[in-house]
Amino acid sequence: MIIAGEASGDLHGARVVEAMRRKAPDLFIFGIGGQALAAAGARLLVDAATLSVVGITEVFSKLPNLLHGARCAKQALRQLRPDLLILIDFPDFNLHVAKAAKKAKIPVLYYISPQIWAWRTGRVRRIGSLVDHMAVILPFEEKFYQEHQVPVTFVGHPLLDASLRPPAEKPVDARHTVTVGLLPGSRDGEVARLLPVLLESAALLKERGKRIKFTLSQARTVDTGLFQSILNRQTDRSNLEIDTGPVDRIFEKCDLIVAASGTVTLEAAIAGVPLIIIYKVSPLSYLLGRLLIQVRHIGLVNLINDEPLITELVQEDASAANIAAAVDGLISDPAGLRAMREKLYEIRAKLGGPGASSRVADIALELVARGFQKGAARET
């Protein structure tokens, strides 16, 4: 059984399923996920699109769906009794299900750790009591779990399995038109908060006479009506292109991007695209987060680098004026852009080589085999 509650987890989970089936073709895999897991052959009990949410207070709007999903997952554990439960990120939901798996004596593999090193570090004790093995994707996470005596393997980052190719570097100076990617997020809530300020910042930069054009990413997971209603407020779209394709296509077009905090910022770093990170949640979520978060940065790039490399504009700082100023500062400094690209390639090197999905599949199948061995020992 596999559970991936968000779009990125769905994609990473699908690659693990594909790798497991290459190694063990007769597996039956079911659970919670999205289109990618379904295409990989997993039988879905619940569509993950009904569960995905960002922010602390925002979870209340999805509470009925989350409760329904948890009931379905626990019922499946009891009735189908899988030989292994694979959990991917989505911590509050997944740890709740892990408790039911532990009670049913079903082994648990957790792939893509919750960010407990950033906040609510006490959860590591709960993870240690519920999870048989952690498969982590960031280099500093392995040491964290080892220090807390939790079985762990650093498998490398699954984004490297996508074979993202660094785009050809284009000259950035006063004679050339700069292309800036605007990535407002993959969830409706993110888009509602971030798309208006991104469009306003684009208008400000155009007013300043910059030789600049914009590629705006419209994620397929975002409600088209919401996206268009915000976009329709933009009266001048002459330098604005809408792209509904995969994000790596946007990276190939752009000299730099402005992106909602999340996995896509690390994708950009792996592709060697300079970026600015923006982030906004409800005021109450932000206040609670400030009280709980224990790291200095929100961007994974800055956390891996262990010192500020990427500009982070958070909450009130994520204003149109500040975004425009940050973009202007980067495109006015070609040497700085080149230096950032070089540093981003160093970040990529720290994430391990390709093959994360295959390594997770090996751990999963080993846990299944270990369960069979224990069962055989009990029978004899």
CA torsion angle for 131, 132, 137, 139 (degrees, to 10)? Answer: 100
Helix (H) / strand (E) containing 3: strand 2-4
**pLDDT number for residue 211:** 84
**pLDDT number for residue 22:** 96
- pLDDT, one tens digit per residue, over 17-46 is 999 999 999 999 999 999 999 999 999 999
**Rounded to whole angstroms, how far apart are CA atoms 306 and 327?**
23
User: Residue 377 — pLDDT band, cuts 50, 70, 90?
Assistant: low
User: Residue 186 — pLDDT band, cuts 50, 70, 90?
Assistant: confident
CATH no., domain 2-160+354-379:
3.40.50.2000
Burial 129-150 (b: 16+ CB within 10 A, else e): ebbbbbbbbbeebbebbeeeeb
Between these two residues, 200 and 58, which has the higher pLDDT value?
200
* CATH of the structural domain 178-350, one choice from 3.40.50.2000, 3.40.50.2300, 3.40.1000.10, 3.40.47.10: 3.40.50.2000
Task: Return the sign of the alpha-carbon dihedral for residues 193, 196, 200, 202.
Answer: positive
Give one DSSP letter per residue of 143-205, joined into a string: HHHHHTT--EEE---GGGGGTPPPPPP---STTS-EEEEEE--SSHHHHHHHHHHHHHHHHHH
Examine domains 2-160+354-379 and 178-350 and report if their fold is the same: yes
**Rounded to whole angstroms, how far apart are CA atoms 116 and 319?**
29
319 bridge partner residues: none
Q: What are the boundaries of each domain within the chain?
A: 2-160+354-379, 178-350
**Rounded to whole angstroms, how far apart are CA atoms 108 and 128?**
11
How many other C-beta atoms can be found within 10 angstroms of the C-beta atom of residue 45? 17
Collapsing DSSP to helix, strand or coil, 261 comes out as coil
User: Residue 120 — pLDDT band, cuts 50, 70, 90?
Assistant: low
